[in-house]
């Protein structure tokens, strides 16, 4: 083997060994942080979220290289001109929120299903929408209404989904807990 070929092979091996960790990227989440959004509801995040308030909506957010994790809530009763939402009418309310969220990003609804936590029914839905980098990606939300409060969890992946990232997505979206009062 010539020395030029050996050097090229060595460079190729070094480059491949540098790129290999990037190809096998997995979210490195060691400890989840449980955050009490209100006295009645808590959510677990893959790390401590930032918190901000925007137009009466409380937003908790974690932005990681693989995804953005958000939990939001607002007092629906305090919104001027809003119709009171009862448990019996909550499904229509959820559909309206889902359609509004998908429409606001020019998305396409791909899946929706009801879920229940602490005896309260909510709506889990997925949709595709254009990401900031120009690609189309799948997003997922969970919406829950309880005692005039609207809670929404949003998961937006920033990289191609893997089995481990899907497990993290599920853990986040299923982490919502309701305390009995």
| pLDDT score, position 30 | 66
Of residues 94 and 52, which shows the higher confidence score? Answer: 52
**How much is the pLDDT for 140?**
94
Alpha helices, H only, the chain: 3-23, 90-104, 163-173
Q: How confident is the model at residue 101 (pLDDT cuts 50, 70, 90)?
A: confident
Lowest-confidence segment of 14-18, 50-54, 105-109, 177-181 by average pLDDT = 14-18
CA distance 166 to 181: 32
Sheet holding 108-117, edge to edge: 50-54, 57-63, 67-75, 149-157, 136-146, 120-130, 108-117
Helix, coil or strand: residue 95: helix
pLDDT, greater one: 89 or 28: 89
**Mean pLDDT over all residues of the chain?**
80
> pLDDT at residue 109 above 50?
yes
Q: Which of 27, 68, 28, 40 is nearest to 176 (CA)?
A: 40
CATH of 27-178, one of 3.40.50.720, 3.40.50.150, 3.40.50.2000, 3.40.1000.10: 3.40.1000.10
The percent of residues in the chain predicted with pLDDT above 90, rounded, is: 41
Spatial contact of 101 and 141, defined as CB atoms under 8 Å apart: yes
- pLDDT for the residue numbered 111: 93
Name the percent of the chain lying above pLDDT 70: 75
> What are the residue boundaries of the structural domains of the chain, listed by start?
27-178
Give the model confidence (pLDDT) of 53-90 as tens digits.
998 889 999 999 989 999 999 887 655 566 666 666 67
- The residue written with tokens 């009801």 in the block is 114
pTM of this structure: 0.76
Largest CA distance in the chain: 80
Q: Provide the residue count of the chain.
A: 181
CA distance 179 to 40: 5
Structure confidence by residue, pLDDT tens digits, 121-147: 889 999 998 877 778 889 999 998 888
| d(C-alpha 128, C-alpha 140), whole Å | 9
Q: Is the pLDDT of residue 27 over 60?
A: no
Whole-number Å distance between alpha carbons of 50 and 52: 7
């Amino acid at each position: 083997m010539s020395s030029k070929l050996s050097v090229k092979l060595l460079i190729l091996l070094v480059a491949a060994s540098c790129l290999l960790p990037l190809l096998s990227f997995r979210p490195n989440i060691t400890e989840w942080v449980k955050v009490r959004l209100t006295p009645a509801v808590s959510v677990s995040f893959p790390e401590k979220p930032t918190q901000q308030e925007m137009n009466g909506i409380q937003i908790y957010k974690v932005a990681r290289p693989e995804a953005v994790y958000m939990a939001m809530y607002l007092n629906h009763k305090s919104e001027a001109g809003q119709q009171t939402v009862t448990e019996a009418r909550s499904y229509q309310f959820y559909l309206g929120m889902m359609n509004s969220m998908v429409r606001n990003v020019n998305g396409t609804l791909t899946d929706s299903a009801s879920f229940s936590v602490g005896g309260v029914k909510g709506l889990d839905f997925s949709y595709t929408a254009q990401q900031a980098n120009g690609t189309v990606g799948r997003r997922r939300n969970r919406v829950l209404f309880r005692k005039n409060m609207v809670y929404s969890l949003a998961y937006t992946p920033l990289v191609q989904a893997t089995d481990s990232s899907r497990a993290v997505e599920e853990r986040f979206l299923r982490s919502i807990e309701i305390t009995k009062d």
